[in-house]
């Protein structure tokens, strides 16, 4: 491989994105210039990674502005969260509630029917 071809591929090679690197590595083993170029890319990569935790300071009011922009808590959001987090419990609870409601309606209807029959039957 020629140096020009190798250097074309060094940005990808330094980042581990090159799939086939056999010939390139053979060249690097014997070419001081290209090895130096690779070292520069690796230094850059190392420095970039180390800069991640180097934070910049925003304006003095930034944090307060963010806190003030937090949307107020809404009941609708709480309901959605409960539905999302506890679907099984909600299904069981709904079924139980439905069964209880049906049972109550049936019991009331039966009771009214008994009362009507009592009113129709003359005493004695």
> Hey, which residues between 14 and 43 contact other proteins (CB under 8 A)?
14-15, 17, 26-27, 30-31, 33-34, 36-37, 39-41, 43
Q: Is 74 left (phi over 0), alpha (psi -120 to 50) or beta?
A: beta
> Hey, which residues between 45 and 84 contact other proteins (CB under 8 A)?
45-52, 54-59, 62-63, 65-67, 69-71, 73, 77-78, 80-81, 84
Compute CA 49 distance to the chain's CA centroid, rounded to the nearest angstrom: 24
Pair of tokens at residue 62: 């930034």
Find the shortest distance in angstroms from Cβ 109 to other proteins.
43
Give exposure, 71-95, as e/b (b: 16+ Cβ within 10 Å): eeeeeeeeeeeeeeeeeeeeeeeee
Binding site for other proteins (CB under 8 A): 1-4, 7, 11-12, 14-15, 17, 26-27, 30-31, 33-34, 36-37, 39-41, 43-52, 54-59, 62-63, 65-67, 69-71, 73, 77-78, 80-81, 84
């Amino acid at each position: 491989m020629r140096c020009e071809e190798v250097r074309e591929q060094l940005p990808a090679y330094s980042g581990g994105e090159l799939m086939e690197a056999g010939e390139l590595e053979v060249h690097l083993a014997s070419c001081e210039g290209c090895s130096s170029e690779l070292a520069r890319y690796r230094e850059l990569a190392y420095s970039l990674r180390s800069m991640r935790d180097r934070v910049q300071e925003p304006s003095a009011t930034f944090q307060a502005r963010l806190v003030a922009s937090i949307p107020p808590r809404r009941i609708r959001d709480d309901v959605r969260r409960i539905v999302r987090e506890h679907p099984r419990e909600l299904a069981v609870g709904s079924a139980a509630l439905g069964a209880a409601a049906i049972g109550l309606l049936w019991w009331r209807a039966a009771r009214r029917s008994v009362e009507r029959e009592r009113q129709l039957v003359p005493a004695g």
